[in-house]
Amino acid sequence: MNTHQAFPFPLGATLTNTGCNFAVHHDSAFPLSLIIFKEDGSYTEHSFTEEYGTIKYTHLTGIKEGAVYGFKIIKNEEDLLLLDPYAKALKNIPNYQVPYTAKQSWSLAQAIVVNDNFDWQSTTMPIIPRSETILLETHVKGFTLLNPNIDENVRGTYLGLVDPATIAHIKEQGITSIQLLPIAACMHEPHLLEMGMVNYWGYNSLSFMAPDPRYAISDAVTELKTAIRELHKNNIEVILDVVYNHTAEGGNGGCTFNLKGLDQDYYLHHNGNYTNYTGCGNTLDITHQPSLNLVMDTLRYWVEHYHIDGFRFDLAATLGREYDQFNPNNAFFKAIAQDPILKNTKLIAEPWDIGPNGYQVGEFPDGWNECSDKYRDTTKSFWRGEQNYLKSIATRLMGSRDLVSASRWPHKLPVNYVSYHDGFTLQDLVSYKNRHNHANGENNRDGHGDNRSDNYGVEGPTDNPRIIALREKQKRNMMTTLLFSFGIPHLLAADACSHTQQGNNNAYCQDSEISWVNWNLDPTAQEFKIWLSDMIHARQKHIVPIINAFSGSKRSHQKVEWYTPDGRTMTHNDWHGAKSLCLHLNIYDGEKELLIMINQSNIPTRFVLPKLTKQANWSLVCDTQYSKVKPKPIVFDYSLSPLSIAVFCNK
């Protein structure tokens, strides 16, 4: 041991030329020591020789890459092994038999010393502009496990994401950025373990910077880096869904995996109890310096050593909390904004939590794009046929400027979506009126009750051709609205395959065919997959230039006009009770023009096409009455079928 080589930062295990440095924040009354495991399972115990404030650290010579370690505390007269909060890799797949015991901790909390070197083969990060970004939310395992075109050896793994068949699908669909459900190591909730189930989605963080070994063949670190490198080679970004609002340790009486044993102040407390603003038992306190450091250090690690392009923050309002209040100018947001590594990444907020003042849509600082539940609810309600949503759908089409001014675009473009991991898939939105979550083991009480869905006559699957045709049309209506709205479109990977979760709108614990994407497509599903791909490419060609022109200081030079079907400019009275309208977007006096017609009524509606600014012809981009994208010229007027949307551009 050579104490003169020891250093307090960075925290965690850091290899040196002669060994390894170990550093940890420790501010609890429990005595702390370092455990180094031998290959035969025995171990040696070491004291921390140095202190720097609350940082305990030491340097051990001879420790090499692959060494296994943990931190021991004595709690309730038992030796409990803690997982390093800065662990870069886990020795074992996280699991335990309820109740969690000190004995089990000695297997669960083993971390691996990692060498951060990796051959990135000169790849660079894609840096896709926000206006061109198409987000595809997916689960590492569920996206590839059942795809017969993928090498069987890599299905359901990190490497399955970059199998040639997966890459081909992503590029064919026109996806620019895949948003992975949490891949930081997750621990399953006790009630799931008791039922023999898992937290499939991964929203229960055990370690913030160790990739979950569940999705690796043998080496999660190398395999994940390889996957990201290959995606970057194909100009595809990787966005990580991260969970910094709570951890898997739960609330009062919960397990002690690491933070509880090192410093109780990692978490918010009220009157000695864990504050539960997340619905998961505890809430991380980002006003506490070690907590803020942990979040910032691990975010930087993902970017520096995994080349991650951005992050989607689960329950992000928690990160802006100063106890019961949300502050968009708090230390976390300021730290991100000034950080030379993080400020260039994409930052996506789920802008709420369940605590007081927890709904903060539109309140995040510049540089943050926010998921818009208002867009989701409006789009579903409008196409389901609910009345008095015409003004609202118009607002959402134009980028929800009631929430964020276009002067703050593109860096504040909303993230628009219809379906997400939580809730119905697109197929289920048009197939079920009610949730069917019985497989979750909670008597169908879990999951959202406000689905704004319909089955159009039959609950679930049907052979009725009329119902199938209407369901497919409604899927096209919602996707066309999504792709031709101002914002960043967020798509659910399962939707391209018309995947059904059998009416389950909360499949967080379903590591089963309920969640795994079904790649066995019937002709109707195959037709929709091709249509969606064509529409994504049409968006990039037609609406992206419009979004760019309407962003920032250039927006004042552009024109927006709303028309009634007979070609009149919409008046205040026209908005009340109307079921049809036409949106005309014009940049630079006719350099590019776009027309969007919407008919929510149950009868065909004839629209008069407005005159183009410059001599040209309107050309139909798509009409959701049809299952194929069929561009064709249109001159004077157009009859739009009931419950349809059509898009036109100038030639």
Exposure on the CB side of residue 546, measured as CA atoms within 13 A? 28
Backbone angles phi, psi at 165, to 5 degrees: -70, -40
Nearest to 519 by CA among 175, 177, 149, 181: 149
Q: Which of 596, 536, 516 is nearest to 147 (CA)?
A: 516
CA-angle at 588, arms to 582 and 589, nearest 5°: 65
Q: Which CATH architecture has domain 3-112?
A: Sandwich (2.60)
Could you give the CA distance from residue 209 to residue 240 in angstroms, rounded to a whole number? 11
Global pTM value: 0.97
Distances (CA, A) of 499 to 143, 491, 493, 503: 11, 13, 9, 11
Q: Tokens representing 159?
A: 């490497």
Closest CA relative to residue 411, chosen from 487, 312, 351, 350 = 487
- Please give the Cα distance from 623 to 267 (Å, whole number): 52
Side-chain-facing half-sphere of 545: CA atoms under 13 Å? 14
C-alpha dist (Å) from residue 531 to 42, 117, 472: 59, 43, 11
Q: Which amino acid is at 93?
A: I
Residues facing residue 242 across a β-bridge:
313
Which residue, among 308, 175, 490, has the nearest Cα to 166 in the 3D structure? 175
Q: Per the structure block, which two tokens stand in for 26?
A: 């420790």
Rounded Cα–Cα distance for residues 601 and 579 (Å): 6
- Known catalytic membership, residue 350: yes
**Residues 626, 380, 177: CA angle, nearest 5 degrees:** 80
Question: 350, 454, 472, 534: which one is catalytic?
Answer: 350
State the amino acid at position 192 in one-letter form: L
Q: Give the largest CA-CA distance in the chain.
A: 85
Percentage of the residues of the chain whose pLDDT score is greater than 90: 92
Q: Tell me if 75 sits within 8 A of 30, measured CB to CB.
A: yes
Instruction: Write out residues in the chain with pLDDT < 50, as ranges.
Output: 1
> What's the rounded Cα separation, in Å, for the pair 567 and 439?
52
For 463, 471, 506, the CA distances from 498, given in Å and listed in that order, are 16, 11, 17
pLDDT at 175: 98
CB atoms inside a 10 Å sphere around CB 279: 12
**Measured distance CA(421)–CA(552) in Å, rounded:** 32
- Which one of the listed residues 223, 237, 241, 314 is annotated catalytic? 314
Rg (CA), the chain: 26
As a whole number of angstroms, the distance between CA 109 and CA 115 comes to 19
Q: Residue 614 carries which side chain, given as an amino acid letter?
A: K
Domains 3-112 and 557-650 share a fold: yes
What pLDDT shows up at residue 410?
85
Best CA proximity match to 500, nearest among 481, 533, 477, 528: 528
Rounded to whole angstroms, how far apart are CA atoms 264 and 257?
Answer: 12
Residue range 557-650 in CATH 3.40.50.300: no
Cβ neighbours of residue 204 closer than 8 Å, sequence gap 6 or more: 186, 187, 188, 189, 243, 246, 247, 248, 280
What is the rounded distance in angstroms from the CA atom of residue 619 to the CA atom of residue 631?
Answer: 6
User: What pLDDT does residue 222 have?
Assistant: 98
Domain limits, the chain: 3-112, 557-650
**Phi, psi of 102, rounded to the nearest 5 degrees:** -60, -35
